[in-house]
Homo-oligomer: A and B are copies of this chain.
Amino acid sequence: MELREMGERASKAKYVLQRLTEQEKNEALLAVAGALEQGCEEILAANREDIRLGEEAGMHPGLLDRLRLTGERVESMALGLRQVAELPDPVGECMESWERPNGLRIEKRRVPLGVIGIIYESRPNVTADAFGLCFKAGNAVILKGGKDALRSNIAITQVIRRTLSGCGITPDAVCLITDTDRQVTNAFMRMKEYVDVLIPRGGAGLIRAVVENSTVPVIETGTGNCHIYVDKDADLDMAVSIIMNAKTQRIGVCNACESLVVHEAVREEFLPRLKKALDEKQVEIRGDERVRACIDCVPASEEDYGTEYLDYILSMKTVDSLEEAIAHINRYNTKHSESILTRDPARAQKFLNEVDAACVYVNASTRFTDGFEFGFGAEIGISTQKLHARGPMGLRELTSYKYQVYGTGQIRG
């Protein structure tokens, strides 16, 4: 399908999708879940071809792992759709209503965004996940996946489109761009007349390219240079447990801790204890001079403080005050997730108020920044911008609103 035609079809589909009832949407989601399971062999065959081409091209084993589908992974796509079917439908919700002195009644109602564009990299499960969330929120979605996963994405999309048709719903609820030419991707980012929002999902390079080139409004997701600040009256046992969790429970994720900020008053007591635990997991430490005065580690550079390692590395910075900790974090963070460990509620509140990030924690791991952990039941990504949605994005964050105004002949004086 040509790109412009795809835009037109998706735009047409959005008017159909916004009218679907919750039940119609849930039935379709369950049907697609079943069809993915039934079509598992077809999907795995396509994926094997992607894997074979990736291996031939000398693809990195980590990327090959992201690309690889198994029966279990297809099963988990189906499960994801069944979970989305169980979530309440956000569309139509009356967010507020009021009456004006002239008798006009104004209702602010949640509506779908319309057409959502998703640009993503090598994980083919995003194809099904993104469809499920966009569809439940009443949106059409145009997907542009990675070149490496093209055959897998085509197979998954075909199953979804076929099943939607079988349910009497337009298959254009999900469209996949199969042309891998970069020019086509660039044109997609400029289809303002058809696409209401673009959500890039992937590494920093992909996100930067979308922000640079898009004229469609973008929601930036993903990069997380997250800090944990150990305050002067922190519970130090709790601090070791939280930092170990945030740094090592899963290293390659955006809500992992990348940098530790420690108050001078606890530095000498705390750092040797923490280092023992970090050593057990072979975490490399990069510290400032005062850190290096009490534990053996690599010197930290300015660049370290600005780096999202996604690896077994932790930078460390010593501060003399809460204010200095807040200033350091606001300077180097990516506005994702930051945590203070302290027993003092007033100091905690100051940190929560003044640190500029989507999610700010007291006495908890940054790893909780996640749609499921927040109780949203799903997640399309973590927004690191301030416009529209911030932090974990669930179904509601895939909607807009409109004002419905009821009059009895009012004119403006």
* Residues of A in contact with B (beta carbons under 8 Å apart): 15, 18-19, 98, 100, 104, 106, 113-114, 192, 196-197, 211-212, 215, 217-219, 235, 238, 241-242, 244-246, 249, 330, 348, 352-354, 356-365, 367-369, 373-375, 385-388, 390-391, 400-412
Contact = CB atoms under 8 A, between A and B. Distances in A.
A206 to B, nearest CB: 15
Contacts of A388: 387-388
B403 A391 contact: yes
Contact of A359 (B215, B246, B368, B402): B402
Given A360-B404, A363-B406, 16 more contacts: A104-B364, A192-B211, A196-B385, A212-B215, A217-B385, A219-B387, A238-B409, A242-B411, A245-B411, A245-B412, A246-B411, A358-B402, A359-B405, A361-B406, A364-B405, A365-B410
A223 to B, nearest CB: 13
A364 B410 contact: yes
A387 B403 contact: no
Given A196-B386, A364-B104, A403 B359 contact: yes
A400 B409 contact: no
Contact of A390 (B246, B385, B400): B400
Contact of A114 (B219, B242, B356, B373): B356
Given A361-B405, A409-B235, A15 B245 contact: no
A392 to B, nearest CB: 8
A296 to B, nearest CB: 26
A133 B363 CA distance: 36
Contacts of A196: 385-387
Contacts of A386: 113-114, 196-197, 400
12 contacts: A15-B354, A19-B354, A104-B368, A113-B387, A196-B387, A219-B387, A241-B409, A244-B411, A359-B403, A363-B408, A364-B405, A391-B403
Nearest to A220: B217
A172 to B, nearest CB: 16
B404 A365 contact: no
A330 B19 CA distance: 15
Contacts of A412: 245, 249, 365, 367-368, 373
A402 B358 CA distance: 5
Contact of A215 (B211, B354, B375): B211
A154 to B, nearest CB: 29
A336 to B, nearest CB: 11
Contact of A407 (B354, B361, B404): B361
A255 to B, nearest CB: 9
A348 B100 CA distance: 20
